[in-house]
Every structure is written in structure tokens, then in C-alpha cells.
Amino acid sequence: MVGMTFAHLLRRRGVEPVVLERMPAGFYIPRGYMLGFQGYESLEEIGIYEEVRDAGRPIAPRPDQPPVAVAVRFGALIEALMRDLPIVNDTTVSDLLRDDSGRVVGVVAEGPGGSATYEADLVVACDGMNSPTRQMAGLEAEYDQLPEASLGFISPSVADTSFSMAYMSDGGHIGMLSWHQGSAGWRSIDRVGAEAALAPGLDAIKEMWVRLLPASESAVEGLTSLDQVRYSELSLLRCPRWWVPGVVIIGDSAHFFGPETGISSGIGLGDAHALAQAIAQYPDDPDVACATYETWRGPVVRPYEAADPGRQRILIAGQVQPLPHERWPPAE
Ligand SMILES: Cc1cc2nc3c(=O)[nH]c(=O)nc-3n(C[C@H](O)[C@H](O)[C@H](O)COP(=O)(O)OP(=O)(O)OC[C@H]3O[C@@H](n4cnc5c(N)ncnc54)[C@H](O)[C@@H]3O)c2cc1C
């Protein structure tokens, strides 16, 4: 979503980017999704903010002001971004082109017709948390494993409220998000592995969710299979530098925040806006554009990284015992 947003914003500034995407046209993985206010400005400029907002449910609505966030079908945003945007699909970036000085001047990509080279004034890596381009460019990445794991569900039934979240006695959290077509939930648990986390069974998982977060009752009703429940172990990501000559990283390739914050994509959409504007100001000097981008964006992004509750939790899961009725999996 960050790459497509960036491409739209660049085109509005008279720059025509080549967008390379390894997945087939129209592909995305459905998920529970909350668009935070940090992303509104970028979508407004592209002309899809109202469409996405109206397709979703407001979170913390305020009179005469936009909601703090919108719970929306993930596809509503992705499909709006795909509209009217040329994308070279089924094409995977596999290497960087460099000149004699070592500066990156383009990429090599593998597509249906074989290997091809794409020369570029600037390679903008929007290729996700494990960014192959970041690695090829030699940009350092610091991963911080969260002390807890996450148990999540995705359900086709709709809850009475768009959002609910509660904290537990060990500093862990449990939450639920509901859009017009479905709901998703998450909670922190000990890092016990998927097998142990799912072992109590679907009925026990549903009972626990409703007991600890009553607002999730109608969302949980739609759970009929353990396939709708997922255990995951997440890490946070931050990168000390965001660019080297010829390559810049934005969105999840540059930073990933904890699931508690719900801000990851909104910050990425803001990155896209700032970088497009920096390029418009310095169209003939990508290095100055990148330096300007880093100067503007550091004061916005770095405090979120430093204050992420995954790093700053006062009570750390594993060091403090949860109350027995909050523990998952439950004690024998
Ligand atoms: C389960 C889940 C729930 C989430 N919920 C929220 C939420 O509620 N709110 C929120 O703000 N954020 C949420 N996030 C985070 C949010 O999804 C990300 O911040 C957002 O998707 C980042 O977008 P991106 O474009 O930077 O990266 P990605 O979405 O990771 O996109 C990277 C793209 O690069 C492509 N790619 C990768 N490698 C190559 C290559 N070598 N060549 C070509 N293409 C390549 C991939 O196919 C992909 O399309 C959630 C994440 C998860 C996993």
C-alpha cells in the first residue's frame, strides 16, 4: 500500500515511476485493518480518503472532526489504490545496478519474460519488513523481538462496536476491530508456540475472548474453525539510516511498530507523502531529496519508534504473572 500510495503522489507531482510488484495483479491477503489518522492526508490528496472512510466504520468518532481511525475492509483501500495505476506485476527485484562509484542506478528484476534491468534516478524500496532491497543496499536493520506472542482471529461476523481493547494485569493486551463485513481480534500470550496456543480448542478460545472482552461477543460468534485463529511471534523493526545514494526505504521496509499501536501503515502512508514532496522540491538531485526526506521524517517517526509500547511496557510479559483467568493457554 505504501508503494502504490507513493506512486500516485509522485504522478501528481509530474514524475512517472515504474512500480514493480512480485505478486500477480489484484492480489492481496485479507486481514483486519484499521487506517490511522496519520494516513489520511496522503489518501486525501490521491482522492480516495472519503471513499475508504465511507466504506468503513469510524473508531473514536468526534463531532465535526474526522475519526481517530477507520476500521475498513482491507480490500477497499487496496482496490482503490490499484485503480488507475500502471503496475508491472509478477516481477521480483533480485539485484541492484551500480555505477563505477558504487551508487545504485537501478534494479534487476525477474518477470514472466525472464530477467530485465530497470535504470532509475532513485530506487524507492517499499518491499515490506524483510525488504530484500534494503538488504541488497546494505542498510542496517535492527529487529527487536517482542517478549510476548500474539493470538489472533478473523471472523466473518460483525461486532456491535468498531473497536474495543483492554489491558491485562501483566501489561498484556486484548482487542477487537470490526468493519462492515467482518471482525478481527488479537491478544498477547506467552511465547508457547502455535500448537500449545491452539491446543485448548476453538470453544475455549471463544469463551476466553468473550469473558475478557465482552464487546467481542458477536465477532467471536462467526468463528467455526481453528483455521480462523492464528498464533504469531512478532518483532519490531527500526533502521538507523533510511537511504544510501540511489536507494531509499519507506513504509514497513524502514520501520515496523507493535500491533498495539495500530499505526504502522498510517506512518508508511505519511512517509510516501513526505518523500514525494521532497522529490518534487529537488527533482534533479535525488540525494538532496533523500536527505531532506530524512530531516523531515525523523522527528515524526523516531518518537513513535522510541515510545512503542512493545519496547516501553512498564510491566513486561514473562516477568509479571498474569491473573489466572487471563492466562493463555490456561494453567492445567
Ligand atoms: C495481521 C496484520 C494486521 C495489521 N493491521 C494493521 C492495522 O490495523 N493498521 C495498520 O496501520 N497497520 C496494520 N498492519 C501493518 C500494515 O499491514 C503494514 O504497515 C502495511 O501493510 C505496510 O505496507 P508496505 O507497503 O510498507 O509493505 P507491505 O504491505 O509488506 O508490501 C510490500 C510489497 O512489496 C512486495 N515485494 C516484496 N519483495 C519484493 C521484491 N523483491 N520484488 C517486488 N516486490 C516485492 C510484496 O509483494 C508487497 O506487495 C498489520 C499487519 C499485519 C501483518
Segment 57-71, tens digit of pLDDT: 999 998 999 999 999
* Helices and strands counted in the chain (H then E): 11, 17
pLDDT of residue 331 exceeding 90, the answer is no
pLDDT of residue 319 exceeding 80, the answer is no
Q: Nearest to residue 220, comparing CAs of 234, 233, 207, 231?
A: 207
Helix (H) or strand (E) holding 231: strand 229-232
DSSP, collapsed to helix, strand or coil, labels residue 97 as strand
pLDDT of residue 332 exceeding 80, the answer is no
pLDDT tens digits, one per residue of 80-127: 999 999 999 999 999 999 999 999 999 999 999 999 999 999 999 999
Residue 307, ligand 1, Cβ within 6 A = no
First to last CA, the chain: 43
Q: What mean pLDDT comes out for the span 135-149?
A: 95
Residue 271, ligand 1, Cβ within 6 A = no
pLDDT of residue 315 exceeding 80, the answer is no
pLDDT recorded at residue 311: 79
pLDDT recorded at residue 232: 97
DSSP, collapsed to helix, strand or coil, labels residue 297 as helix
Q: What atom of ligand 1 comes closest to residue 33's alpha carbon? A: 8
Q: What does pTM read for this prediction?
A: 0.96
Q: Please report, to the nearest 10 degrees, the dihedral formed by the alpha carbons of residues 248, 253, 259, 264 taken in order.
A: 30
More confident residue, 322 or 156: 156
For residue 307, give every residue at least 6 positions away whose Cβ sits within 8 Å of its Cβ, in sequence order, or none.
none
Q: What mean pLDDT comes out for the span 22-31?
A: 95
Q: Distance, CA 66 to ligand 1 centroid (Å)?
A: 25
Residue nearest (by alpha carbon) to ligand 1 atom 2: 31
pLDDT of residue 266 exceeding 70, the answer is yes
> Do 317 and 190 meet the contact criterion of CB atoms below 8 Å apart?
yes
Residue 309, ligand 1, Cβ within 6 A = no
Q: What mean pLDDT comes out for the span 192-206?
A: 98
Q: What mean pLDDT comes out for the span 212-223?
A: 97
pLDDT of residue 37 exceeding 90, the answer is yes
Q: Distance, CA 287 to ligand 1 centroid (Å)?
A: 26
pLDDT recorded at residue 320: 74
pLDDT of residue 200 exceeding 90, the answer is yes
The set of cell numbers assigned to 205 is 478460545
Residue among 22, 82, 235, 261 to mutate when testing ligand 1 (max atoms within 8 A of CB): 22
Q: What mean pLDDT comes out for the span 27-36?
A: 94
> Do 226 and 152 meet the contact criterion of CB atoms below 8 Å apart?
no
Q: What atom of ligand 1 comes closest to residue 256's alpha carbon? A: 19
Residue 67, ligand 1, Cβ within 6 A = no
Measured distance CA(182)–CA(13) in Å, rounded:
37
pLDDT of residue 314 exceeding 80, the answer is no
pLDDT recorded at residue 237: 97
pLDDT recorded at residue 317: 59
Measured distance CA(305)–CA(324) in Å, rounded:
32
pLDDT recorded at residue 110: 98
Q: What mean pLDDT comes out for the span 161-179?
A: 93
DSSP, collapsed to helix, strand or coil, labels residue 167 as strand
In this prediction, residue 316 has a pLDDT band, given cuts at 50, 70 and 90, of: low
pLDDT of residue 313 exceeding 80, the answer is no
In this prediction, residue 318 has a pLDDT band, given cuts at 50, 70 and 90, of: low
Residue among 252, 257, 273 to mutate when testing ligand 1 (max atoms within 8 A of CB): 252
Bridge partners, residue 98, by sequence: 104
More confident residue, 323 or 163: 163
What value does the mean pLDDT of the chain take?
95
